Chain A
Amino acid sequence: MLEAVEVTVRARRRALLDGVSLALRPGEITALIGPNGAGKSTLMSVLSGHRRPERGHAALDGRPLARWDALALARRRAVMAQEIALAFGFTVREVVMLGRAPHRGRHGREADAAVVARAMALAQVAHLAERRYPSLSGGERQRTMLARALAQVIEPDEEPAGRWLLLDEPTASLDLAHQKLVLEAAVGLARAGCGLVVVLHDLNLAARFADRVAMLSRGRLVALGTPDEVLSAERVGEVYGVGMTRLELDGRPCLAFV
């Protein structure tokens, strides 16, 4: 289990996160939502182990992340951050292959190549395999980084149960078709036992694909539950400061501007 316990993060005396506790379950997609500056990305970096909070801690399987060795942690969780620049002409395949770095020497070259091929297919970049990363469009780069993170959590001949995938706005620069394909790949991983934490701006995507929704506002966790419980028109209107109306679609909420 991946959890944040009473996490407080400050920058220049301002609290980016203020006593956030959140227990994530394996096999589920948890969407982190909230307005700009609510602390979503900060919470992601705490959950990934990269940022040490001033108070509280994040833990995997009950052990604080600060006490995990970087390599052991990398074998259990992968992170896809927002926009990554790369000044050197690596091919897409080479970038995705970096996702296998923590597993070096465990499976052999061919098994690793098979994982990379699978990850590229899931992230819809197989046809770009030999293209150079700096020549890609924003959406293509994003999918390449997603493929790299997928290559890190998928293991040959083994379900990804007990592993964690953290995605920071994976759909930000994707067109509609790719948004759907990428989130369906995420659902596939979750059904196989992987735990996912996904920062999403589009509340309708969160409503459609997430098992649980955690809503942040000004560094605090203001709601946690199923999309149906969290995404009420009143709460969304209050937190985001904009009037919303709620519809139902296939038993899931669907929000629209008033």
Chain B
Amino acid sequence: MTSPLACLPTARAVPNPRNLALPLLALLLAACTVAAIAIGAVPIPLARLPALLLAGWNGDGDTTGLAQEATVLWYIRLPRIALAVAVGLALGTCGGTIQGLFRNPLADPGLIGVSGGAALAAAAWIVVGPLLPLPDPLQSLGAWLLPVAAFAGGLAATMLVQRVGRRDGALDVASVLLAGIAVNAVTGAGIGGLVFASDDRALREVTFWMMGSLAGATWTGILPALPFLLAPALALPLRAVALDALLLGEREAYHLGFAVERTKRLVIVATACGTGAAVATTGIIGFVGLAAPHLARLLVGPGHRRLLPAAGCLGGCLILLADTAARTLVVPAELPIGVLTAGIGGPLFLHLLLRHRGRS
């Protein structure tokens, strides 16, 4: 007689269609990228793209016509698209992670105040930073310090919301959302005060945070933010199983052998880093962090190992689409991208809320 505990090999599992979803999403992101490169006020024919890329790379723009297109491609469109992809990856991945950490599919970096905290810190740096009597080497580091300031603001907001939202060792959803409202009110007031106190230059820049925009992205401008954007997108999927376990609750995650406090700290720092850097470079772009993981969950299920990369890819696609629309719909003017994403994302959120309530 075999032991009741004997584990017999099971039939080989059927291939999971979800395994295909990730490569397909990566392809979709690549396709969106190429399309976004081609479309614009100066259209760039795909057939000439390789030649233009090479021309810009070698710096020989002697053929007229090619020169203009190559300049547009290299100095205006490519940095902007690189930024869109990086911000989308960061927002999608961080959004999916925050939903897991708060054990709630309705959490979003904007709703719980992370973006607000980052925006307040960034705005404070813009307005107050130039007035500070900083020694020269620090002054020239200004571009690098902006994402750091936004990161610190995002981190402070996440930690505050986490602290306030805890009840008996577990995060209480209502408290978290209420704390997010409070944080958003305070950051809104803070930014309002800064706007009141700022001069014309600072005013323009601060207004930019409030609506979000990728316009004016330059290589020197986005380079400092890229590591902050990409590191969380790459690092968070490594904690996928721990995040899965945390969905069962902190106690269950401990029972399953995870160092809960350390995991939570790491995840909070990483999401604050990604969200903060996104806010520092593009301002507040709402609802991508909410919508991307939701779409991803429909395609690949709730497991974070597939969810986080899928949400990152979808976040990249959404930002690319929204930004391409923002810069082409009302040429020669531009729509603020935050207006577009919030305009689409707000109704989507209402829909989710209603469906969620219908189910429970």
Contact = CB atoms under 8 A, between A and B. Distances in A.
Interface of A: 45, 48-50, 70-75, 78-79, 81, 84, 86-91, 94-95, 98-99, 101-102, 104, 110-111, 113-115, 117-118, 122, 134, 152, 154, 156-157, 159-160, 185, 188-189, 192
A139 to B, nearest CB: 18
Nearest to A160: B5
Contacts of B10: 110, 113-114, 117
A164 to B, nearest CB: 11
Interface string B293-305: 0000100011100
B7 A50 contact: no
A86 to B, nearest CB: 6
Nearest to A76: B257
A23 B16 CA distance: 47
Contact of B256 (A87, A89, A91, A99): A99
Given A88-B247, A117-B10, A75 B257 contact: yes
Contact of A90 (B3, B8, B260, B302): B302
Interface of B: 3-10, 12-13, 100, 103-105, 241, 244-245, 247-249, 251-252, 254-260, 297, 301-303, 359
B256 A98 contact: yes
Nearest to A134: B359
A152 B251 contact: no
Given A81-B252, A86-B248, A104-B241, A71 B7 contact: no
Contacts of B8: 114, 117-118
B245 A101 contact: yes
B5 A110 contact: no
B301 A89 contact: yes
B7 A156 contact: yes
Given A89-B301, A99-B256, A101-B241, A117 B7 contact: yes
Given A78-B255, A87-B104, A87-B105, 6 more contacts: A70-B258, A71-B259, A73-B257, A86-B247, A110-B9, A118-B8
**Residue from B104, B241, B247, B255 having most chain A Cβ neighbours under 10 A:** B255
B302 A71 contact: no
B251 A50 contact: yes
B9 A114 contact: yes
A111 B303 CA distance: 21
Tell me if A's interface is mostly helix, strand, loop or mixed: helix
A70 B134 CA distance: 46
Given A79-B255, A87-B105, A88-B302, A115 B7 contact: yes
B12 to A, nearest CB: 8
B252 A84 contact: yes
B293 to A, nearest CB: 10
Nearest to A95: B248
B151 to A, nearest CB: 28
A74 B252 CA distance: 11
A70 B7 CA distance: 26
Nearest to A188: B4
Contacts of A78: 255
A104 to B, nearest CB: 7
A79 B303 CA distance: 22
Contact of B13 (A70, A113, A159): A113
Nearest to B302: A88
10 contacts: A70-B254, A70-B260, A71-B257, A74-B255, A88-B105, A94-B303, A101-B244, A104-B241, A118-B7, A154-B5
Contacts of A189: 5
A112 to B, nearest CB: 9
B7 A98 contact: no
Contacts of B13: 113
Contacts of A102: 256-257
A156 B251 CA distance: 26
A51 B259 CA distance: 14
A74 B256 contact: yes
B256 A192 contact: no
B241 to A, nearest CB: 5
Contact of B255 (A50, A113, A192): A50
Nearest to B262: A70
Nearest to B9: A114
A237 B259 CA distance: 44
Contacts of B12: 110
Contacts of A72: 257
Contacts of B245: 98, 101
Contacts of B3: 159, 192
